[in-house]
Amino acid sequence: MVPDLAQVRAEAHVVALPLRTRFRGIEVREALVFEGPEGWAEFSPFVEYDDAEAAAWLAAAVDFAWREQPHPLRESIPVNATIPAVDPGRAVEVLSHFDGCRTAKVKVAERGQTLVDDVARVRAVREAMGPEGRVRIDANGAWNVDEAEHALYALAPFDLEYAEQPCATVPELAELRERVRHADIPIAADESVRKAEDPLRVAREGAADLIVVKAAPLGGVRRALGIVAEAGLPAVVSSALDTSVGLGMGLALAAALPDLEFDCGLGTASLLAADVTSAPLRAEGGSIVVRRAVPEPDLLRTFAASPERRDWWFERLARCHALLAG
């Protein structure tokens, strides 16, 4: 069911939220939020995504705003801290914004940086977390197989929980997984699931030990649950630098999974310097209570995007809506 475009636009707002530190190449996160019969939802595919890919994000948002979601199996979700590719000293400062989190995901393989930078950052986080903390890394597919193998052995002394998307393609992930099997570093697939025409290929080809799923790019909570069930692999639910409105959908997905072995990447509101609500979905004691966020009019006005950016998002919304309706 796709509501009329006018229904979606009736309560739609475009916001531009500043980040605490540069992340994923941006310093401001733009998002379009709107309200439906079931509550608020978010449409925020990154600006470089084409309409075909962005339409899945709109399908997810419409589903979240217009349909009742699957029954939650848990009331709160344990989450990890997310550390951008910052200097080691900044890494510890960023970590302090994630209250009680005992898992940290560290970004590595940043363009313009070296493995020396990655090792220093991961070392700083490991020292801050202590031996009982869990540290995972995310390369966003930036390494080839040889580079990934070399990097994982260099980072292995820091007792990695897993390496997320170290290489870009499924065959590369499968080869790397074989090469590092005896090093006991599990491989997680993210982009090879959420950006793939066939999100189950990683499971069929033995290319990953676990999968990372995001509700928005996979078309919503129900479709993501179906992918996890068919893949038959442990799943980590993550976000895409959402506002608290978007994080509510990720929490709904994590809450509905039959099994949840890993802390989830849903604490990223702590990377934002502002949000659409004064009660953001941030970690408290390492977990976030499952709930939906409701934007506040004053904050929607304060952080409203410029008229030019608002029009850009509304035009994108119309194009993606046409794809869904068609």
> Which member of 121, 177, 194, 214 is catalytic?
214
> Which member of 107, 134, 282, 291 is catalytic?
107
| Helix locations, 96-243, DSSP H | 115-129, 145-155, 170-179, 191-194, 201-204, 221-231
Tell whether 164 is in a known binding site: yes
Residues 102 and 136: their CA atoms lie apart, in Å, by 11
Whether 107 sits among the annotated catalytic residues: the reply is yes
Cα-based angle 197, 199, 200 (whole degrees, multiple of 5): 125
Long-range contacts of 94-98 (CB under 8 A, 24+ apart): 94/20, 94/21, 94/271, 95/125, 95/128, 95/129, 97/20, 97/270, 97/271, 98/267, 98/270, 98/282, 98/283
Residues 134 and 37: their CA atoms lie apart, in Å, by 40
Q: Are 64 and 252 in contact (CB under 8 A)?
A: yes
At how many degrees (to 10) do helices 51-66 and 244-256 cross? 70
Please provide the distance, in angstroms rounded to a whole number, between the alpha carbons at the two ends of the chain: 12
Q: Are strands 210-213 and 235-237 parallel, antiparallel or unpaired?
A: parallel
- In angstroms, the Cα distances linking 277 to 5, 10, 189, 192, 254 are 25, 20, 32, 33, 21
Tell whether 190 is in a known binding site: yes
**Residue 27: Cβ within 10 Å count:** 11
Residues 17 and 12: their CA atoms lie apart, in Å, by 16
Whole-number CA gyration radius for the chain: 19
Class of residue 261 by CB neighbours under 10 A (exposed 0-12, middle 13-18, buried 19+)? exposed
Tell whether 138 is in a known binding site: yes
- Residue stretches of the annotated binding site: 138, 164, 190
- Residue stretches of the annotated binding site for Mg(2+): 138, 164, 190
Which residues carry out catalysis?
107, 214
